[in-house]
Every structure is written in C-alpha cells, then in structure tokens.
Amino acid sequence: MKKNLIIAGASGNLGIESVKFFLEKDYDAYYLISRRKIEIAGSFNKNIKQIIADDLTNENEVKKSFEQITFESSSNYFLFSTVGGYYGGKEAKDIPYEEWLKMLNVNLNSAFLFSKYFIQNVKDTKGGSICFTGALSGFTPQRNITAYGTSKNALHYLVETLALESKKYSISVNAAAPYVIDSKESREWIEDETQLISPQNIVGIVHIIFENYKIINGNIFKLGGTIK
C-alpha cells in the first residue's frame, strides 16, 4: 500500500524542516505546496512534486493545488500543514480589522480549506491523517494576542470536530500545539529561550501521529512552554 505525504507551507521555516525530516522516511510520493519552489539538499531517489500556490487562504488556489495530487483508492494520504502566522502586541481595541481578518484567514480558514479538499479526495481511499499546527496560546487567554489566540482556539475546535466527522472515512485529524517555535525571529524577542520548541521536535511528534493514525485522533498535543 502506497503512502503519500502532503506538506502545506513547505517553504516556511517549519515547512523546510518538515521536508528535510520526512524525506528520510518511507513515503512513496511527496507533494510540497508552497508559495515558491524550494531547493532540496542531498540526493534523494524520491517521487517529489512541488506545487506553487501564492495564497493558501484562497479556496480556488487550494482546490487547484489538490487537483495536482494523484489520489488512488488503494493508497494512504497524510497532510501536515505548517501554514500559520502571528500578530501580537496590541490590545483588542487597537487591533486593525485587517489584521484580525488576516489571523483568521491564515490560521483558521486555510486549515478549513485544506481539510475540505483533503477529506473530499481521501474519503474513497484507504484513509490517512491530517495534522495542523496549533498553538499553546490557543488554550489560555493572554493579553495583547487576541487575534492570534482566537484564531488558534478556533483551529483547535475545528480539529476536534473534523476528527468526529472523518473517523468513518478512516481519516484522523490532530494538531501539534507548540508555545513558541524556535526561529531567528523568535530569538530576537523571547526572554526565556527554554520556552522555545525546535521545529525538529514538532515534526517528530507529527511523524508519531502519522505512524499511529488509526488510533490517534482528535488530539491537540501541547508541546512545551509555560504561559505566564
């Protein structure tokens, strides 16, 4: 039985680390959805297709991206979405409405679109799994990140609901919810670097989820960090 992996947001920091990690695993085909083509280091005898989509919050672009993926009834499919964004530093009364909408689009609406077209296409196959990138901040209210926290909280609800709806298709849905992902940008502002979660650790959890997709469903995995 063939295993196919889809990585959404493959050109971002977490996306690139995901590609590096999963290319070492035993998938038969890789579909990398991103805004730009990425250079893949090393020599891999792999079936890799890069799909360029400028706006993954646009339904037509997401739909067209999935049309470039080959779905076979005898295969399994796995989707890891690294798509997400952060906005903070202002009280709700001072947040520009366009920034509020941007957070909902990039963190929630993109996930809805991915799940919609993934489930539509995978429901008649051998099944598979979706893993989204949630956030520890989506569990606990905090000052000055209202738009971000709300969008992640809604994403968690979406994951749990999709898990209930998709179980009958042998599709599981989960999310990895780190506090602060370790990156150059994060290290410029965070005071306590022990709060950082490495991309490699996040992807390692996703791999475990996919390897056990038949029994892991509807979970939001809290990864490190302590919200103060």
Neighbouring residues of 152: CB distance < 8 A, sequence distance ≥ 6: 107, 134, 135, 137, 138, 177
- Cα 167 versus chain centre, distance: 19
Contact 69, 31 (CB under 8 A): yes
The per-residue pLDDT string of the chain (228 residues; one tens digit each, 9 = 90 and over) reads 899 999 999 999 999 999 999 999 999 999 999 999 998 876 566 799 999 999 999 999 999 999 999 999 999 999 999 999 988 899 999 999 999 999 999 999 999 999 999 999 999 999 999 999 999 889 988 899 999 999 999 999 999 999 999 999 999 999 999 987 755 565 555 555 566 778 899 999 999 999 999 999 999 999 976 555
The CATH number of the domain where 143 resides is what?
3.40.50.720
Q: How many other CB atoms sit within 10 Å of the CB of residue 228?
A: 7
Neighbouring residues of 167: CB distance < 8 A, sequence distance ≥ 6: 217
pLDDT of amino acid 197: 74
pLDDT of amino acid 153: 97
Residue 228 belongs to a domain: no
Residue 104 belongs to a domain: yes
Residue 48: give the domain boundaries: 3-223
Maximum CA extent, the chain: 53
When divided into structural domains, the chain yields a total of 1
Backbone angles phi, psi at 8, to 5 degrees: -95, 135
Residue 218 belongs to a domain: yes
